[in-house]
Chains A and B, each alone.
Chain A
Amino acid sequence: MKRRLGGTTTVDPSVLEALEAALGAGSAAEIVAAFLADSPARMERMRTLAARGAANPLGREAHALAGSAATLGLTALAAGARALEAAMEAAPPDLPPLLSPLEEAAAVALAWLQQRIPLPAPPAAHLPGNARRACSFACPSDTG
């Protein structure tokens, strides 16, 4: 299922692993689920903006996507979004064709995420305990 586009790595699994290690598998799954849930609407927004020739707002969408994709280790998608963001600065005339490489990268990335984290776990039943234990910052009720 893991694929490569044009020889470049499409995903960096270690990023998601680091997220799981830092926040727990439940939180990581919740974050991935939120990204997946937002994705169809985001793509639809980007298509609409491209069709309207709205380079500036499309650039801002791409900027936001680049940040989230990179945070989840979706290397190729992040790179595609950054490229689109950069392209929008010159306000090119015909936007929809510029969106195609990004759609392709998004399809690959989302498929990988769904396979990597098949069922979005319910938000983190273990977290409250964690929160109490790890509290080191102005929690008088815990320390006192």
Chain B
Amino acid sequence: MALAPEGGPAVRLLVVDDEAVPRLIVARAAETLGIATDGVATLTEAVARVKAVDYDVVVLDLALREHDGIELLRHLREAGSQAVLVFVSGFDERVRQAAARLAGALGLTVAGTLGKPLLVEPLVALLRALPERGHSKPEGREADIDPAELEAGIDADQISCLFQPKVTLRERRLVGVEALMRWQSPRLGVVLPDQFIPLAERAALIDRLTDRLIAEALTQFRPWRSLRPDLTIAINLSPVSLTDLSLPERVSAMLAETRLPASALVLEVTEGAVMEDYVAAADILTRLRIRGIRLSIDDFGTGHSSLLSLLRLPFSELKIDQRFVRSCMQDPEAAKIIRALISLAWELGLQVVAEGIETEPVAELLDRLGCMVGQGYLFGPPVSHTGIAERLQQAAWAEGIS
């Protein structure tokens, strides 16, 4: 069904909804702004459209009859689409927010979410305020970076590692660090992972980057294990790395080279990553776990198939997403969800780590809820190798005299 008026205006919108009413409302509302609209009712048609046309905006109903609209996100990413997304759904705000977060994890830009009944005014307001694609994307400067520049940066050792402490909530004892990448670019200054990882994934540089990160993090971590034999190091894996079947061997080799036991290493994986290519991810994660490497499910509770992933994959740690942690003081429901997640983790024998702890009352609440380990600015921002080494030496000294 082509709803585009003749004359071919510049902006193209695709609305995916199995109901004619919202499809037509979006089309007519978009027309009042001079936006040409195509409307489709099924995922199959939508996939065919996004392969054929480079849309600027995709308005997506999350609850299509036969599929969930989430599946289209993967196809948009595969098609390299730069389209800005608007979610429409009769589900509550929480579901729409979770979908938005998943889209973000896939590198897609979400302009906003609308509930049902679909009202024209908020829809028009949203379409009017759409970010121009490729410019005001939240990933910031990603669009300006040439893959060759990143590759040269990797070769020139411009990628370095920072470490953020993980502590026990009760004793505030340092039990682990999470390694985070920074790119010190001569032209751009310090570039954060959100800004160069998606580029590395698209430019097939992610394996080199991951190997570099693991090798460097393990090397720096090695001496800390002598001071604190139960200390762990956590490293984030890109979803793309979970399609690379040689990863377990490479990780084992790097552990052997630094003479570290597999149990010292925690690999963090986001939920979205697992659903990308389930078979390959399950293969890789299971082989890593068999080798003794610990696996952490990151941002837990914000994605699509959390419980199924927990059931089927050999995770050893669950990280509660910082969104729940940040709102747990104001929102009693967030606190209830955290309590339920902790109880779930206990039942499954998983360690629980709460991310994004910024204040003392939040740390105390999480401790009361049964969470043992936390991470966040309250316990320290990401710091260089020296920062962690000093902290460990001070702790060793304090423990030595007590």
Residues of A within 8 A of B (CB): 15, 18-19, 22-24, 27, 30-31, 34-35, 37-38, 57, 60-61, 63-64, 66-68, 70-72, 78, 124, 127-128, 130-132, 134-142
B171 to chain A, nearest CB (A): 44
Q: List B contacts of A72 (CB < 8 A).
A: 21
Q: Does B104 contact A (CB under 8 A)?
A: no
A90 to chain B, nearest CB (A): 18
Q: List A contacts of B116 (CB < 8 A).
A: 66-67, 70-71
Query: Is A71's CB under 8 angstroms from B90's CB?
Result: no
Query: Is A140's CB under 8 angstroms from B120's CB?
Result: no
Q: List A contacts of B112 (CB < 8 A).
A: none
With both beta carbons as reference points, the residue of chain B lying nearest to A15 in the complex is identified as B117
A49 to chain B, nearest CB (A): 11
With both beta carbons as reference points, the residue of chain B lying nearest to A21 in the complex is identified as B120
Q: List A contacts of B288 (CB < 8 A).
A: none
With both beta carbons as reference points, the residue of chain B lying nearest to A124 in the complex is identified as B28
Known contacts A23-B25, A23-B120, A127-B31; A64/B65 CB under 8 A: yes
Query: Is B25's CB under 8 angstroms from A137's CB?
Result: no
Q: List B contacts of A138 (CB < 8 A).
A: 10-11, 56, 132
Do most interface residues of chain A lie in helix, strand or loop, or is the interface mixed? helix
Query: Is A131's CB under 8 angstroms from B31's CB?
Result: yes
Number of interface residues of B (CB under 8 A): 34
User: Which of A15, A31, A142 has the largest count of B CB atoms less than 10 A from its CB?
Assistant: A31
Query: Is B32's CB under 8 angstroms from A134's CB?
Result: yes
With both beta carbons as reference points, the residue of chain A lying nearest to B65 in the complex is identified as A60
Q: List B contacts of A37 (CB < 8 A).
A: 20
Q: Does B33 contact A (CB under 8 A)?
A: yes
Query: Is B28's CB under 8 angstroms from A141's CB?
Result: no
The interface stretch among B123-131, B180-188, B212-220 is B123-131
B88 to chain A, nearest CB (A): 9
Contact of A132 among B34, B128, B130 (CB under 8 A): B34
17 examples of A-B residue contacts, CB within 8 angstroms = A23-B29, A31-B21, A34-B21, A38-B20, A60-B65, A63-B63, A64-B18, A64-B19, A66-B116, A71-B25, A71-B117, A128-B7, A131-B34, A136-B34, A137-B128, A138-B56, A141-B10
With both beta carbons as reference points, the residue of chain A lying nearest to B10 in the complex is identified as A138
Q: Does B389 contact A (CB under 8 A)?
A: no
Bound-state CA distance A72–B116 (Å) is 11
Q: List B contacts of A124 (CB < 8 A).
A: 28
Q: List B contacts of A63 (CB < 8 A).
A: 63, 90
Query: Is B33's CB under 8 angstroms from A137's CB?
Result: yes
